[in-house]
């Protein structure tokens, strides 16, 4: 299973764009990249998933370069409510649905 590395913490201010980068040098051909968000006292929540290039939904964008050895979660114009822990996960068909969570990135948004 591919191991992921992401910053332990990040600080930002309201209205800024936040980019969280995750390294996954050993990603396999079948692996997808998925990001989850977790607020205190809640379970993780799916944000976005991608395989290559760029994926965008109503809350975030995911940028994946051609070599797929890293990915960047982009949160546009963050607000205080985006303060949470963000997890990058890598896996695919061979994982049989298993999610391997790392330590995550604790994002703190300040006014």
Partner 1 sequence: EAGVAQSPRYKIIEKRQSVAFWCNPISGHATLYWYQQILGQGPKLLIQFQNNGVVDDSQLPKDRFSAERLKGVDSTLKIQPAKLEDSAVYLCASSSRRPGAVGNEQFFGPGTRLTVL
Cα dihedral 74, 79, 85, 89, rounded to 10, equals -20
Number of neighbours of residue 109 by Cβ within 10 angstroms: 20
- Binding segment for partner 1 (CB under 8 A), chosen from 9-17, 38-46, 56-64, 66-74, is 38-46
Please report whether residue 44 would count as binding partner 1 according to CB under 8 A: yes
The only residue of 10, 55, 63, 102 in contact with partner 1, by rule CB under 8 A:
102
111 and 13 in contact (C-beta within 8 Å)? yes
Please report whether residue 97 would count as binding partner 1 according to CB under 8 A: yes
16 or 106: CB nearest partner 1: 106
CA pair distance 36, 92, nearest whole angstrom: 15
C-alpha distances in angstroms, 75 versus 2, 56, 79?
A: 24, 10, 10
CB of 14 to partner 1, least distance (A): 26
Please report whether residue 92 would count as binding partner 1 according to CB under 8 A: yes
Please report whether residue 9 would count as binding partner 1 according to CB under 8 A: no
Q: Which residues bind partner 1 (CB under 8 A)?
A: 32, 41-46, 49, 87, 92-104
């Amino acid at each position: 299973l591919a191991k992921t590395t992401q910053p332990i913490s990040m600080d930002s201010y309201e209205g800024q764009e936040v980019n969280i980068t995750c390294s996954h040098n050993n990603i396999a051909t079948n692996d997808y990249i998925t990001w989850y968000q977790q607020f205190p006292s809640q379970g993780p929540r799916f944000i976005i998933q991608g395989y290559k290039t760029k994926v965008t939904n109503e809350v975030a964008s995911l940028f994946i370069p051609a070599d797929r050895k890293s990915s960047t979660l982009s949160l546009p114009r963050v607000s205080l409510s985006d303060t949470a822990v963000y997890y990058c996960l890598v896996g695919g068909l061979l994982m049989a649905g298993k999610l391997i969570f790392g330590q995550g990135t604790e994002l703190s948004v300040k006014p």
